[in-house]
Chains A and B, each alone.
Chain A
Amino acid sequence: MKKLSSIVSLLALSCGAQANTLSVSQGPLTLSKDDFRPITKPYANREAVVGYVALVDVTGAKPSLLFDIAGKVSTRWFAGNFGLTTKVTCNGVPVGADASYGYRKNRSSVPAMPNIYELRHDMEACTQIRIELVKKGSLSKQFYTRVEDIDFTVAVDGLSATSENTL
């Protein structure tokens, strides 16, 4: 019995480490900072986190897909003024890009709010969304822009009509 519970625990752990899966037209998926892998570069004998990447598996793709991806990225208070470029692809096919900015306003930090809402055609082979966040600016600026939280919602809806069909 003890052995069985260990196997169940291991299975649970392994499920948690798996990539997130999103079914087309089945509602949004939420991603947190733990779902993003840091992109690092060497900087002054340390590793600078210059951005983050998340992978989302997609099932049930249609030829035309509506991508609705919205996020909130906040930094430590001392790094409140920052820029962020967000790029989304699906199996290498470009989906959309966004430039957003966090800033200090009246002594508080306003997070960057990336938003990508795009209809793309020829997407029937879409099985893996890649969301890439890259901090804007020099390597030193990227190093000091310490990200505290990342929250994203990702939704994909399938359209039965394509660009070739009449409306």
Chain B
Amino acid sequence: MNKSMIVISATVLATSMGSQATEYSRTFNIEDMTKDGEKYSVAFTPEFNVAASVIVLDVNVEGNATLSSRQESVCTLWEEDICVGPVKQLWHSEFSHEFKYTVSCDDKVILNKFADQLEFTNEKLTSTKSKIHIQDAFINLNELTCETVSFAIETLQGKDIEQIVGSIKFSDSTSK
């Protein structure tokens, strides 16, 4: 084996190791998460530093929304901010489950977003069951190096979360 072959082999090995070190993917569910009030969080400590700029999040959340479904007295015609029409009793259903979710790299929050399921209708709603699918991809302009990555989700408006199943991937490429 001559000197140039040794150099080429070492370069391939470094690239391959580098490629492994720039992608980190984990799946999780509600049993893996810590509950603090209405907030669920999960932290991962990889055996290597995660250096990544692309974060892909895919989470299914099920729970119970707040629901108000009743007859309400409402104005039926407006002129600017003055009610000029008859006030009528109409059916109003309002269903609301709103979340805030974050992804953190060590102590730094790098993704801070919201998700919701809202209904505002004249139909009579009875179920409070909510189902939300979060799909998010975020690209940092500055490369991140994390020892710990974490995901947290909390209910802002609604009753509770019953199930969380998701995955998080840190990568240095937008290609699959």
A residues contacting B by CB (< 8 A) are: 37, 39, 53, 55, 83, 87-89, 91-99, 101, 103, 106, 118, 120-122, 125, 127-128, 130
Contact = CB atoms under 8 A, between A and B. Distances in A.
A128 B118 contact: no
A92 B88 contact: yes
23 contacts: A53-B81, A55-B78, A83-B114, A88-B120, A91-B76, A91-B85, A92-B74, A94-B93, A94-B94, A94-B121, A94-B122, A95-B120, A96-B120, A96-B121, A99-B114, A99-B118, A101-B113, A101-B114, A103-B113, A106-B141, A118-B121, A125-B76, A128-B77
B121 A120 contact: yes
Interface of B: 74-78, 80-81, 85, 88, 90, 92-94, 98, 112-114, 116, 118-123, 141
Q: Does more than half of chain B's interface fall in helix, strand or loop, or is it mixed? A: strand
A98 B96 CA distance: 10
A98 B122 contact: no
A121 B78 CA distance: 22
Given A37-B80, A95-B120, 13 more contacts: A55-B80, A83-B114, A88-B120, A89-B74, A91-B76, A92-B85, A92-B88, A93-B122, A94-B94, A99-B116, A99-B118, A106-B141, A127-B77
Contacts of B77: 91, 127-128
A98 B88 contact: no
Contacts of B92: 94
Contacts of B119: 97
Contact of B120 (A55, A94, A101, A121): A94
A92 B76 contact: yes
A128 B93 CA distance: 20
Contacts of B112: 103
Nearest to A39: B81
A92 B90 CA distance: 8
Contact of A128 (B78, B81, B123): B78
A83 B80 CA distance: 24
